Structure 1
Amino acid sequence: MEHPGSEPSVVITPYPDGPLLVRGAFLLRAPDGTPIEPGRSTIALCRCGMSAIKPFCDGTHKVTGFRAASGRDPGPEPAGVDAPPV
């Protein structure tokens, strides 16, 4: 959560039909905790799952027809929460 008057240390931008662009001071780790060296301060993380250089994006989403919005995916309602009437 961002605090009033402070700059976020990391900014993540989901691009429409593309990767997550990560800018700022971040750490990238494998599930076992091993650091993954990004090689730069701005990276693109794969969202389509088809990249040959995961977790980084290699542009494969363009040829596979991957589609994703740039905003929050509403997804299913959490358990125990009633959906609003239609």
Structure 2
Amino acid sequence: MADGAPLVEIKVRDDGPYKVTGPVRLVDPDGGTWEVPPGESIVLCRCGASQTKPFCDRSHREAGFSSCERAPS
């Protein structure tokens, strides 16, 4: 990045969650925050079945979630 700040990385996992590697701040609708330090990760639900949204609890496995998106070439 131009300003020297670490890059936030978001990985799309086949048939699973988004893995977000910080530094990043996640903000809920009430303004509560989760701070993810540089190099640490969180996984965010993509299937909608998690009981711990916005975080993944691996419910996608039982829900049969399927998605294998790829970046356009």
TM range, normalised to the smaller chain? 0.7 to 0.9
Structure 1 residues 1-86: aligned runs within 5 Å: 8-36=6-34, 41-72=40-71
Give the TM-score normalised by structure 2: 0.76
Conserved? CA contact 1:17–1:70, under 8 Å: no
Unpaired stretches in structure 1, ≥5 consecutive residues: 74-86
Percent identity of the aligned residues? Answer: 41
Over 3 Å counting, the alpha-carbon distance change for 1:7 and 1:55 in structure 2 is same
CA RMSD of aligned residues (A): 2.8
Distance 2:68 2:5 in 1: 25
Unpaired stretches in structure 2, ≥5 consecutive residues: none
| Larger fraction in strand | 2
Deviation at 1:19? 0.1
Aligned residue type for 1:50: A
Structure having the higher Rg = 1
